[in-house]
């Protein structure tokens, strides 16, 4: 073969080496979830790539077999060309030039380009590798048997599960990083859904003292007035106090019988059996229970069976989509006192304060601001008492013998810690 023919063949071998190196990086850099999506959409290259990546040992074996074959062939050609041009001294120079050429143009450059655009190179390469693997399968199988046997001796086992799975925190990171593709509102909803497992019914329930219900011991006029003044569609009915629940009244059922004479007996007939849930139940679990039990309201009880509060399906939905606007039932727990301070109702829920004001008050312990302050001080403080919680300066405005009524919270102060 002429010198020109040898050089042309060398160029072809270098291009093949670049192809093997770049395609290996491209296939291994593919996002498996995006690949699965493309495959289900019918992309042929994605389907073949997905099939190849189910057995990465075979794919890598095929690529390395081809890459080493062309590199060794290129080295032999360079030896022949260099010997023809300059004899034995030129062989060493040719080997050095080939090494630099392979590293730069057949390894680093193609792998860098493939890593930046994996799908662009991986899908066409998969169309070549898939039939090539069928042709060279006996050789690839033998090499894989040898390599897998060596790994077995080292105690490394192939578990046969190449499906990449994400933890909840990793999935949260993925959702946060899709800021340019998913609107902020939708992203917040997705993050809230992921947090349902960590939030319990006790965190979002209406506490015992704030439950609005109907006392069956009241006279008919008071009961009818309580029903007509209610802003809720379902009301708990109790006898004497909330710890003696009789049932749940759906106001729609009451409206259907409003044209008839009202009596406590007829009211009893309209009641649904109360539905109780433990206070430690997660919101994700409770949402499923609501669906399976065909319920929309539940009474939250502690380990002793005492009623701690009430939770509705609407409360769980608000954790996902945010607060529903209800001007008839709206309470101002936070009033801005100055540009840098707020007057806050101490009975306000800490999680709701953090969400509405973008604060970072501790929410793992007590549910209310009152409970958090009392836990920190281990006493019920007097007015004008000052403290700092997680960087927020807090001053007690009003308090009584058994609780704190209102506080003033200032802008968070970040303290710089210097570790020497």
Rounded to an integer, what distance in angstroms lies between the CA atom of residue 155 and that of residue 157?
6
pLDDT one-digit tens code per residue, 210-237: 888 898 888 888 888 888 888 888 899 9
Count of CB atoms situated within 10 Å of the CB of 82: 20
Q: What is the pLDDT of residue 331?
A: 56
Task: Single out the residue of 339, 420, 354 nearest to residue 390, CA to CA.
Answer: 354
- Mean pLDDT throughout 128-138? 92
Q: What is the pLDDT of residue 328?
A: 43
Tell me which fold the domain 334-410 belongs to: 3.30.465
Confidence of residue 258 (pLDDT cuts 50, 70, 90): low
Provide, rounded to the nearest whole percent, the portion of the chain with pLDDT above 90.
Answer: 38
pLDDT one-digit tens code per residue, 340-382: 899 999 988 888 888 888 898 998 888 889 999 999 998 999 9
Most confident among 144-158, 332-346, 379-393 (mean pLDDT): 379-393
Confidence of residue 325 (pLDDT cuts 50, 70, 90): low
More confident call, 42 vs 161? 42
- Indicate the domain borders of the chain: 3-153, 166-195, 201-321, 334-410
**Could you name the CATH architecture of 201-321?**
Roll (3.10)
Count of CB atoms situated within 10 Å of the CB of 229: 8
Find the range with the poorest average confidence among 111-115, 130-134, 252-256, 326-330: 326-330
- Asked if residue 189 has pLDDT above 90, the reply is no
Contacts 24+ apart (CB under 8 A), 393-401: 397/343, 399/346
Q: What is the pLDDT of residue 418?
A: 36
Find the range with the poorest average confidence among 146-155, 230-239, 310-319: 146-155
Task: Single out the residue of 46, 71, 68, 53 nearest to residue 133, CA to CA.
Answer: 53
- Asked if residue 419 has pLDDT above 50, the reply is no
Count of CB atoms situated within 10 Å of the CB of 382: 8
Cα–Cα distances (Å) from 221 to 214, 226, 253, in that order, read 12, 9, 18
- Mean pLDDT throughout 9-31? 92
Rounded to an integer, what distance in angstroms lies between the CA atom of residue 102 and that of residue 98?
6
More confident call, 130 vs 158? 130
Q: What are phi and psi of 332, to 5 degrees?
A: -95, 95
Mean pLDDT of the chain: 85
């Amino acid at each position: 073969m002429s010198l020109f023919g040898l050089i042309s063949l060398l160029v072809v071998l270098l291009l093949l080496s670049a192809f093997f190196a770049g395609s290996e990086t491209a296939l291994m850099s593919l996002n498996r979830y995006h690949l699965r999506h493309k495959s289900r959409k019918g992309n042929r290259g994605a389907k073949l790539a997905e099939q190849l990546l189910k057995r990465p040992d075979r794919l890598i074996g095929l690529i390395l077999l081809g890459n080493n074959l062309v590199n060794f062939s290129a080295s032999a050609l360079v030896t022949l060309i260099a010997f023809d041009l300059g004899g034995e001294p030129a062989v060493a120079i040719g080997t050095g030039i080939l090494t630099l050429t392979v590293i730069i143009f057949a390894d680093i450059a193609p792998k860098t380009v493939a890593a930046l655009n994996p799908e662009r190179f991986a899908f066409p390469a998969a169309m070549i590798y898939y039939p090539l693997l069928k042709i060279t399968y006996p050789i690839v199988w033998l090499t894989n048997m040898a390599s897998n046997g060596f790994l077995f001796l080292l105690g490394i086992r192939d578990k046969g599960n190449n499906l990449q799975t994400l933890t909840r925190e990793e999935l949260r990171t993925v959702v946060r990083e899709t800021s340019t593709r998913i609107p902020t509102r939708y992203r917040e909803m997705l993050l809230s859904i992921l947090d349902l497992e960590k939030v319990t019914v006790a965190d979002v329930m209406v506490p015992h003292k704030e439950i609005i219900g109907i006392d069956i011991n009241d006279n008919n006029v008071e009961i009818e007035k309580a029903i007509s003044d209610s802003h809720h569609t379902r009301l708990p009915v109790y006898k004497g106090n909330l710890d003696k629940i009789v049932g749940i009244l759906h106001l729609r059922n009451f409206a259907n019988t409003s044209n008839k004479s009202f009596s406590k007996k007829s009211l009893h007939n309209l009641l649904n059996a109360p539905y109780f849930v433990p206070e430690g139940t997660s919101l994700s679990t409770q949402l499923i229970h609501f669906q399976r039990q065909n319920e929309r309201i539940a009474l939250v009880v502690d380990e002793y069976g005492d009623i701690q509060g009430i939770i509705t399906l609407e409360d769980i939905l608000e954790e996902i989509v945010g607060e529903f606007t209800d001007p008839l039932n709206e309470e101002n727990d936070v009033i801005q006192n100055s540009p840098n301070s707020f007057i806050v109702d101490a009975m306000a829920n800490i999680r709701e304060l953090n969400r509405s004001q973008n604060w970072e008050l501790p929410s793992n312990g007590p549910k209310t601001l009152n409970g958090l302050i009392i836990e920190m001080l281990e006493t019920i403080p007097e007015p004008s008492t000052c403290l700092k919680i997680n960087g927020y300066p807090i001053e007690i405005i009003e308090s009584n013998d058994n609780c704190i009524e209102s506080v003033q919270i200032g802008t968070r102060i970040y303290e710089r810690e210097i570790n020497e």
